[in-house]
Chains A and B, each alone.
Chain A
């Protein structure tokens, strides 16, 4: 039971991460397409299409991992995606590429490299584990895994856009604080 619950949680975390990355890239594929263009100059203007394909693949994998009947297929897709990310990270590291990866649809940030290799291995390894041990369905009650995926995606989005949220929330960080109010915590 504990193993099944762990696998459920693992699948929800993977699916939430992929959902967040995929939907963000669907909305803003430009940054990933630039990284793809640097990684594989031969693709030219098709880099945007490739970025959207990656995004759709991530979202599809996330949905499959969240649906009990499709968990096995989602795990297979997770292995393939993980291997692709790791491969891209290794190639980019070897070539010393500097374009931000746009992995979550955002401008700036780190370029393709060690982080992508690490995430790729984690995704592929976890998906392989799900495929081997936990592809038979969910231990959690019906519907709960999808909520777990949604919760993971919301938390991740909140963390990714924390600067924007903090800046746009007028009550946070825009007002000065009393010096003497800091006595308690110094």
Chain B
């Protein structure tokens, strides 16, 4: 199908303006600060963190869980919307794929940051036991990275060929790169056939891999028999929570990209309305799991579990707990249930609330349980009962978030965020349908 110049002009990657340059520079500076802090952590050891004998997992692991959850957006939006043949997905799927790739890469890096001796990473493969959920995680994360890269790459092939042609005169060097990445795409029937078949397979593969990733992540906790984690609900709970975090991140990024690249004609209010409905659906499912996880056990659980829950309801973590549940879940549900609440700007703020809530939610999953061990040690220092990340931990964690945004920014800068060929195909189909009508 022939692609119009206007379409390519609109959807081809654009050079960043002043704001874009400032944004990218800021992300690079934060990332470098994080790398310096990490080098210092490797040199001095994890003594620079505030983790202790009780809080042996801290902000790194909660950040890791957040990244894993966010990467689920690919499985939810790309695979599920594709397999359910929702045509409105076209302008948002690539952004979802980009977020997935960025999040899963950073999840892999973050887990290494938590390791006291990252130089022993290879030992996980050499001496790993298949019985350990850590090994399941070590296996599923590279697998997810591979699948996320493939789901991003296959649909890009025709667009790469278009961009090669588009930049052939104005930017020959860039055009050469697009040409290489297009893998000699000519749009031949054979190429199209292989590509469509491959996309279908990888979309199908993304769902079980995404579910496995989230479930393994949940089992990292639920196999430990600890109060707050020892729950058969955990797998589904993590999957639904990941859908919320992923779609929340998607809405926020889609809003910014739409505004920065002036894509209002392609990403319309209809898309935000649909995404809003999708987000409220996932929030409702997550709310259901939260009720199962937090409300019912209050009446049915043993003393330790109830103590833990009360600690969340009214203890030192209560402000965070209520913010996460009300701000990150109930308010978004109420707002998004109304059509006016699904307008782009409102959705953007709600999405930010959801993402921030999702991040702190992971902190609440990890930390309070660790501070209440089953066998408390007598006479431990008072500080062991509390955990707040150190300067190193904050710097490194913020840097990982900045790196994820940097990956997204780089991909948004050099890849067409809306599939050009597919949009052209759809527009042509609509026009032919219009012509066909009497």
| A-B interaction | no
- B-side residues, CB < 8 A to A, are none
